Amino acid sequence: SDLREDAERGAVLQPALFVALLGCSVLLYFRVALMDPGFVTAEEEGEAGKSEEQHVVVPQLSSSVKMRRCGYCMVKQPMRARHCQLCQHCVRRYDHHCPWIENCVGEKNHPLFIAYLSVQLVVLLWGGHVAWSGLYFKQSWDWLQHNIFLLISFLLIVVFTIVVLLLLISHLYLISCNTTTWEFMSHHRISYLQHSELENPFDQGVILNLWRFFC
């Protein structure tokens, strides 16, 4: 493959960069999986109604919409929070529970989750190129026996690349609209969206939405 040829020539920069990206991907995975996604605690109840986003939205909402107390963990939920049955906690700016990391994606780890997907996509694209560079197609059974694992690896990389790419694009779109996966999928079930005069009261324009999310 290309990486093996580079190593044989003594050109270790690209192989080292590939390994560094792979290591970064693994570290980001464990960071996102193990960190607090924004769990709501009982000590934060006094601040539940004072978030910046809530001040933006409250004037546009009907007076009948009130902050609710979670029926599971009994804490007062801030706006955009939701209780996760798997984590057994309410999560601020809840996006979704990701089975790949076995953790919720919420207010605190969502930016890192996007960074993880971006790095993972680069690793997969590069890995696909490396796998392809090692394949020299011949119509023979002997060739298939010697290249079956490399061929399967390449096909798996293609599948995962498509999945990660679609996931990253969908999240970037939702971020640019300042909405979450939960709000996008369950708009009709969420009280503060049902009673809002706007379809998405959190949307402040693409540039400001991206700035607030990443910066």
| The two structure tokens encoding residue 94 | 């809840």
- Considering only CA atoms, which of 120, 104, 105, 91 is closest in space to residue 28? 120
Burial of 9 (0-12, 13-18, 19+ CB in 10 A): exposed
Q: What's the full length of the chain, in residues?
A: 215
Q: Around Cβ 39, how many Cβ atoms within 10 Å?
A: 20
Helix (H, G, I), strand (E, B) or coil at 83: strand
CA–CA distance, 51 with 65 (Å, rounded to integer) = 16
CA–CA distance, 22 with 207 (Å, rounded to integer) = 31
Helix (H) or strand (E) run with residue 97 in it: strand 96-98
Out of 24, 73, 98, 177, the active site residue is 98
Helix axes 141-176, 206-214, angle to 10 degrees: 110
Q: Is 104 a catalytic residue?
A: no
Helix axes 206-214, 110-133, angle to 10 degrees: 90
Active site residues: 98
